[in-house]
Amino acid sequence: MEKDVRIASALITVEKHNANIQRVNQVLSDFSDSIIARQGLSLPSHHFNIITIILQTEVNTINSFAGKIGRIPEVEIKVLMHKCLKKNEI
């Protein structure tokens, strides 16, 4: 049975002086095979940073990624998934 693949965008906010940024980077590295784009933006006047991620992978992988990021203190994540695509349509 073919697995459904989705395109997802994730918005990650990280408190400016968060000691856990290495944990965020480790999770991003662990999921690098699923990440097709990444952009970071520092907002010093708001005391946080924004990382945007575009993923192309199965729903379970997207959920696992979001769960691992979301469990890091002072880090928030929101994910938006596009409709399902079959692997052979990509």
Is the pLDDT at 14 greater than 70? The verdict is yes
List the domain boundaries for the chain. 4-89
Outline where DSSP puts E strands in 1-90: 4-15, 35-43, 48-58, 75-81, 85-86
Give CA–CA dist 78/83, Å, rounded.
17
At residue 70, φ and ψ (nearest 5 deg) are -65, -20
Mean pLDDT calculated for residue range 4-8: 91
Can you state the angle between helices 59-70 and 21-30, rounded to 10 degrees?
170
Determine the pLDDT at residue 3: 74
Mean pLDDT calculated for residue range 60-88: 89
Determine the pLDDT at residue 16: 79
Determine the pLDDT at residue 72: 95
**CATH label, 4-89, candidates 3.40.50.620, 3.40.50.300, 3.30.70.1150, 3.40.50.1220:** 3.30.70.1150
